[in-house]
Amino acid sequence: MVDFSSALSAYKAAANRAIEHSSDNATEFTNGRGFGEVLKNTLEQSIEAAQQSEITSLKAIAGQADMQDVVLAISNAETALGTMVAVRDKVISAYQSIMNMQI
């Protein structure tokens, strides 16, 4: 049986860590790096977070990981994926704006 109070506290802890992590990354984008490098690093972080969540989930199935670790790994993967989707949407929007410009 799943203890819902421990699951809820794990989700709260993961949300708090995700908020702290996103504020740390905000300064990273203002260090004068090129757009291509930022995009590449964001994609790599997204892939790494997804892989880590899979590994942590498998460890939990084997009984080697805590529920809080699983929730945190999945939350990080969701955040990274959301970031990549937002960046993709902005790139497509910018491309469409450029294509609609009259010469």
Q: What angle do CA 82, 68, 72 make, to 5 degrees?
A: 20
**Domain containing residue 15:** 4-99
Q: For residue 25, give both structure tokens.
A: 């990354």
Q: What is the mean pLDDT of residues 60-82?
A: 88
The upper half-sphere exposure of residue 61, i.e. CA atoms within 13 Å in the direction of its Cβ, equals 6
Rounded CA-CA distance 103/101 in Å is 6
Number of structural domains, the chain? Answer: 1
Top pLDDT among 14 and 82 is at: 82
| Phi-psi region at 32: left, alpha or beta (left = phi > 0; alpha = psi -120 to 50) | left
pLDDT digits (tens, 9 = 90+) for 7-24: 566 666 666 666 665 555
Give yes or no for a contact between 77 and 47, defined as CB atoms under 8 angstroms apart: no
